[in-house]
Structure 1
Amino acid sequence: MDEFTRILFWVWKIGESEKSLVEVSRNSSKAREAIELLQKYSLVKVRKKGRVFLISLSEKGFGVYRKIREMRELIGLDARLVQQAENTASALEPVAPGAGAVPSFLAGNPWLEVLAKRGRERLGL
């Protein structure tokens, strides 16, 4: 795999959230190699919390992530995945009545809206 393809793969894998080194790859040498590659182009921020390294995309990295997402939407890849998920979900029978209901501690919780907005703001939506 060429360097450009590897960059796209790792940026997509890290995505919107902060990941630990193990979440990037279970193979520690491969994870470190990926992080070094992304740091070379200033696409990630790495911080250490205790003994754990936390990796997140930089602003430049989020720009790349948004472009990848736009390409997936243009191709229709995401729409196909959503359709497959809907088909799979409709094929499954409900386990119990009300199984899809939101738990009472989440119903009307204003923090869910705050957290959803933070994610959208970070992605520039």
Structure 2
Amino acid sequence: MKIVATFEGREVPYVTLTDFYVTFGSRSKFVKKIVESAVKRGLIKEYKRSRIRRDYFLTEKGEKLLNLVKEAYKLIYGREIELGESRRKVAVAEHSESLPDFLKGNPWLSVLAKRGRE
């Protein structure tokens, strides 16, 4: 699900820190370094909602870079880049082998695994 918000008079992809954690893993120091670096370079803009909550928006420069990365990926691999989805599917597939018999094939596991990410 993509969320779009209006920021500085234009529609931009809306990103929360949770999206970064889903994409890059839950190592908070690693994610913070990525976010700080992107903010310094003008790729994303930080919006402070409250003292502890912050949201992030791609700037025009960030959107251009993302589009260039997508184009390069398509030229190299011959297909569109799949952001985040392939990692989630691989993670579910890896863990399904180690599940007890009564949980294997349970359709609710995929529903519960998606919670908080969509």
**Which band: TM-score by shorter chain?**
0.3 to 0.5
Give the structure, 1 or 2, with the largest relative contact order (CA under 8 Å, sep 6 or more): 1
- Higher fraction of helix: 1
Larger radius of gyration: 1
What TM-score, normalized to structure 1? 0.44
